[in-house]
Structure 1
Amino acid sequence: MSMTNLAGRVAVVTGGSSGIGYATVELLLEAGAAVALCGRDAARLDTAVAKLRERFPAARLLAQSCDVLAPEQVAAFAARVEQELGAASILVNNAGQGRVSTFADTADEAWMEELRLKFFSIIHPTRAFLPQLKNSADAAVVCVNSLLAVQPEPHMVATSAARAGVHNLVRSLATEFAPDGVRVNGILIGLVESGQWKRRFDARPEEDQHLDWAAWTRRLAQKKQIQIGRLGLPEEAARAIVFLASPLSSYTTGSHIDVSGGLSRHV
């Protein structure tokens, strides 16, 4: 289902080879955009591109292995995007995952690693693509963030703190970039089906072996008090991302869309 017409636009998605990133690439291609995606795992990236080309044989699609924490790699990726597809007008910052740890068992090195990942997975791509975005009409940056930014969990102390910082960063960037015509927004995701949750399902204890994926995730949603009663789907998060990246949200900047199925308890 295409939500808007993005023909003639160039979009970039980091962490685009799986999960929410991959679902976002699919929706952007459906909307007619040319899309560049990157990821660290070259094999996973190749698999994703093969599936995308099968579904969208006429699409303008570019993929490159890239570590968003390596600024020289991100700069090279940005240069290639502009050369082969044209100037990017949409940037989706989607790299990163959660760290399960409490304050008592989080070492200094773990704090530094988590803060570096959450901040610089946004800083490096935004810095590299900003000149292109500034030269594009209705440019948009969308950052995939977590509900932990406003509703922290004690068992994810480092990730919660880092996510709160990203929430603030989005607001700061929106203010700074507004005079240049670049909108910056984010989404706050709750529990979304992912490889991480699939691995936890595979490692479930013996007493839960009788549960299939649907039953296990329903019980998880009940335990977490998710009002909709299930985990989110990657494509549901992707729809919010594409909305914020498109002219449909042309008067929105510095904001976040809650995509948590009612897990949110803040007002």
Structure 2
Amino acid sequence: MSELSGLKALVTGGASGIGRATAALLAARGADVAVLDLDPSAVGEPLRGYLADVSDDASVRSAVAAAAEALGGVDILVNNAGIGAVGTVGDNDDAEWHRVLDVNVLGMVRTTRAALPRLRASAHAAVVNTCSIAATAGLPQRALYSASKGAVLSLTLAMATDHVREGIRVNCVNPGTADTPWIGRLLDRAADPAEERKALDARQPMGRLVTAEEVAAAIVYLASPAAASVTGTALAVDGGMQGLRPRPRAR
């Protein structure tokens, strides 16, 4: 499949998890892909790896400029880099709030701002932000994380409005609980990892975690010319968690 042949893509946080799956699928569909990550050492061909810290504007601008020069432009930007947070509003101090919001929200601002001149020059410009089910559903022990992803959802709509007449589409994906390294680390720290995983599986109507590849497929669709009339949309990839209310399983 080569429907993205000739298109140039940047993926932040693309060295692992959803970002890595997205970068790999973009490349498999024909795009030339650059990964921007804190540790791009594991990124191999056909992907191009660039060191970037989305919490530092100079780092972002340098990486985007280098990647855009090597690729010969930017058509697709996937704002995927992000960090998690656990706890109620009483559990995280101001420093942690600033740190998470700086990465999860301002990180997208910095990368998009740096890529905008290249996106404006593209005939197929698309930005896809990795949001979360946490933006639209109240999840326990996720106050800070939910606030950051709620901001990403609103940011996506505002960006889509601002840039629609420039020919730049902006959408986001809202994954449910995904089977990623971050979730794996949370499970490892649980008192009973097996029971905690069962609880996470049961929270999604399909009865299992979402895979990184499933989220990647949604991101790549939104980034592709096949979605040329799709902008300002949040696409849920959550096993039915947002909209379905099945009866509890019979015991």
Match of residue 236 from structure 2: 258
Is 1:110 aligned with 2:88? Answer: no
Give ranges in structure 1 of 5+ residues lacking alignment.
Answer: 54-58
Distance in 1, Cα, partners of 2:102 & 2:172: 19
TM-score using structure 1 length: 0.86
Q: Given that residues 84 and 182 in structure 2 are in contact (C-alpha distance below 8 angstroms), is that contact kept between their aligned partners in structure 1?
A: no
Distance in 2, Cα, partners of 1:218 & 1:229: 9
Distance 1:219 1:160, change over 3 A: closer
Distance in 2, Cα, partners of 1:74 & 1:248: 29
1:109 deviates by 1.9
Distance 1:201 1:162, change over 3 A: closer
Distance in 1, Cα, partners of 2:200 & 2:130: 23
1:79 deviates by 1.4
Distance in 2, Cα, partners of 1:143 & 1:198: 22
Is 1:130 aligned with 2:116? Answer: yes
Distance in 1, Cα, partners of 2:128 & 2:236: 13
- Name the SS of the counterpart of 2:43 in structure 1: helix
Distance 1:220 1:83, change over 3 A: closer
Match of residue 56 from structure 1: none
Distance 1:203 1:166, change over 3 A: closer
Distance in 2, Cα, partners of 1:103 & 1:219: 23
Give ranges in structure 2 of 5+ residues lacking alignment.
Answer: 246-251
Q: Name which of 96, 99, 106 aligns with 2:85.
A: 99
Match of residue 37 from structure 1: 35
Match of residue 184 from structure 1: 170
Q: CA RMSD in A?
A: 1.9
- The letter for the 2-side match of 1:262 is G
Is 1:15 aligned with 2:1? Answer: no
1:121 deviates by 1.3
Q: Given that residues 201 and 216 in structure 1 are in contact (C-alpha distance below 8 angstroms), is that contact kept between their aligned partners in structure 2?
A: yes
Q: Deviations over 1:10-49 (max 9, x none)?
A: 00000000000000011111111100001112xxx22232
1:219 deviates by 4.7
Distance 1:115 1:204, change over 3 A: closer
1:148 deviates by 0.8
Q: Deviations over 1:123-152 (max 9, x none)?
A: 010000000000001200000001111113
Distance 1:168 1:200, change over 3 A: closer
1:216 deviates by 6.6
Q: Name which of 190, 195, 206 aligns with 1:228.
A: 206
Q: After TM superposition, list the pairs within 5 Å mapping 1:1-267 onto structure 2.
A: 2=1, 5-41=3-39, 45-49=40-44, 53=45, 59=46, 61-205=47-191, 208=192, 211=194, 217-222=197-202, 224=203, 226-265=204-243
- The letter for the 2-side match of 1:32 is G
Distance 1:235 1:167, change over 3 A: same
| Count of residue pairs brought into register by the alignment | 245
TM-score using structure 2 length: 0.91
Q: Given that residues 217 and 230 in structure 1 are in contact (C-alpha distance below 8 angstroms), is that contact kept between their aligned partners in structure 2?
A: no
- The letter for the 2-side match of 1:162 is S
Q: Given that residues 10 and 74 in structure 2 are in contact (C-alpha distance below 8 angstroms), is that contact kept between their aligned partners in structure 1?
A: yes
Moved over 4 A (4+): none
Q: Given that residues 150 and 266 in structure 1 are in contact (C-alpha distance below 8 angstroms), is that contact kept between their aligned partners in structure 2?
A: no
- The letter for the 1-side match of 2:63 is F
Q: Given that residues 151 and 265 in structure 1 are in contact (C-alpha distance below 8 angstroms), is that contact kept between their aligned partners in structure 2?
A: no
Q: Percent identity?
A: 36
